[in-house]
Copies of this chain bind each other. A is one copy, B any other.
Amino acid sequence: MSKSIFYHAGCPVCISAEHDIVSLAGKENVEIVHLGSDNSRIAEAENAGVKSVPALVTKNGNVLHINYGASIEEVKG
């Protein structure tokens, strides 16, 4: 994986964390995935270990769950 991936679901907590992470890591180093509008990637996020959003999966595969916004189950709706 060449970039970190930031998974979110459009909630206010998510958007705020997205800005912080992008500002921290640099826009070119983070792929942003909106699971609400691209739910084909929910399985990918789950396989990576994402339990709630917002979450950042780092290049080496670690999952950082940030300020709790919503569980993956809630995102599935």
Contact = CB atoms under 8 A, between A and B. Distances in A.
A13 to B, nearest CB: 10
A63 to B, nearest CB: 8
Given A64-B66, A64-B67, A65-B67, A58 B16 contact: no
Contacts of A4: 24
A68 B52 CA distance: 12
A9 interface: no
A15 B22 CA distance: 22
Contacts of A63: 67
A71 B66 CA distance: 15
A62 B25 contact: no
